[in-house]
């Protein structure tokens, strides 16, 4: 009798697990998944073509290297899909504090490269906390605003979100990593917009951002109190004078023009 009961319980458990798996597969955005897989495959193909002569005796070095990164990304993708979204919301504070802690560790014992402390070196693996922090940053802000409900339309809620966002943005800026700091800033604007922040509040934030940009790029340097390093300022203003520094600040602009001109509409292939 007990064997019969155990068998029935085991059968129900298997049926429940199968139903959960089917539900998970049904929830996936297969169009997005297929598009991502196609882009990744195309990227590997391009890397294979343009880097096969870069490492003597190992033409597949960069392909294998990128494949490892892709495998890590697939594991992260599966983890994100399998984890109940409610857990992100429940542990949003821990995720946010954890990402800030990793950014602080960079200042204490991070690896210096090209004048910036951005990486944590584990000997077998080196990673940039601010890159992982981007996802946690968006999740935290989304959960924070979702918890506010209808109060999202209040100015104090917007200011609270901006104040919280200022912490990781400030830490990334001090590394210094201006590009990633700007990504965080635009992510903040996107989350506020999607959350339903009032247009008036968004307009006010945009005005503040414009004034701050003018101050950082022109007014403060003119007054002898620059906030950005010279190379950072040149990168942001290089598009105004694309021929001013072809081997420096405008190098990428010039190379882009050359690539488009050489490749034309159909490209030159790999």
Q: What is the pLDDT of residue 73?
A: 86
Q: Stretch 13-21: mean pLDDT, rounded?
A: 62
- Encode pLDDT of 180-239 as tens digits: 888 999 999 999 999 989 999 999 999 988 888 888 777 777 777 777 777 777 777 776
pTM value surpassing 0.85: no
Question: Residue 252 and residue 241: Cα distance in Å, rounded?
Answer: 13
pLDDT in tens, 181-197: 889 999 999 999 999 89
Domain definitions of the chain by residue range: 1-82, 84-197, 229-270
Comparing 116 with 204, which gets the higher pLDDT?
Answer: 204
Residue range 34-81, pLDDT digits in tens:
999 999 999 998 888 878 777 777 888 888 889 988 998 888 888 777
What number of CA atoms fall less than 13 Å from residue 33's CA on the CB side? 10
Plot region of 228 (φ>0 → left; ψ -120 to 50 → alpha; else → beta): beta
**Strand partners for 121:** 126
| Integer Cα distance of 242 and 253 in angstroms | 7
Percentage of the chain modeled with pLDDT above 90: 20
């Amino acid at each position: 009798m007990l064997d019969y009961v155990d068998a029935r319980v085991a059968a129900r458990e298997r049926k429940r697990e199968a139903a959960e798996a089917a539900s998970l597969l049904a929830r996936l955005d297969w169009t997005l998944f297929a598009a991502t897989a196609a882009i990744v495959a195309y990227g590997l193909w391009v890397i294979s073509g343009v880097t096969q002569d870069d490492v003597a005796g190992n033409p597949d070095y960069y392909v294998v290297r990128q494949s490892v990164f892709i495998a890590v990304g697939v594991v992260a993708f599966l983890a994100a899909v399998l984890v109940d979204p409610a857990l992100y919301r429940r542990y949003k504070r821990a995720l946010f504090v954890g990402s800030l802690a990793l950014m602080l560790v960079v200042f204490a014992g991070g690896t210096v490269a090209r004048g910036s402390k951005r990486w944590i070196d584990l000997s077998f693996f080196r990673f940039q906390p601010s890159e992982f922090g981007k996802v946690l940053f968006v999740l935290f802000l989304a959960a924070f605003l979702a918890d506010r409900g209808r109060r999202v339309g209040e100015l104090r809620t917007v200011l609270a979100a901006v104040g919280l966002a200022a912490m990781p943005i400030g830490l990334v800026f001090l590394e210094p990593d201006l590009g990633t700091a700007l990504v965080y800033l635009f992510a903040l604007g996107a989350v506020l917009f999607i959350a339903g922040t009032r247009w008036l509040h968004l307009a006010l934030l945009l005005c503040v951002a414009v004034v701050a940009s003018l101050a950082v790029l022109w007014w403060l340097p003119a007054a002898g109190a620059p906030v950005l390093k010279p190379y950072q300022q040149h990168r942001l203003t290089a598009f105004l004078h694309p021929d001013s520094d072809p081997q420096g600040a405008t190098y990428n602009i010039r190379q882009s023009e050359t690539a488009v001109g050489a490749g034309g509409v159909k490209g030159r292939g790999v």
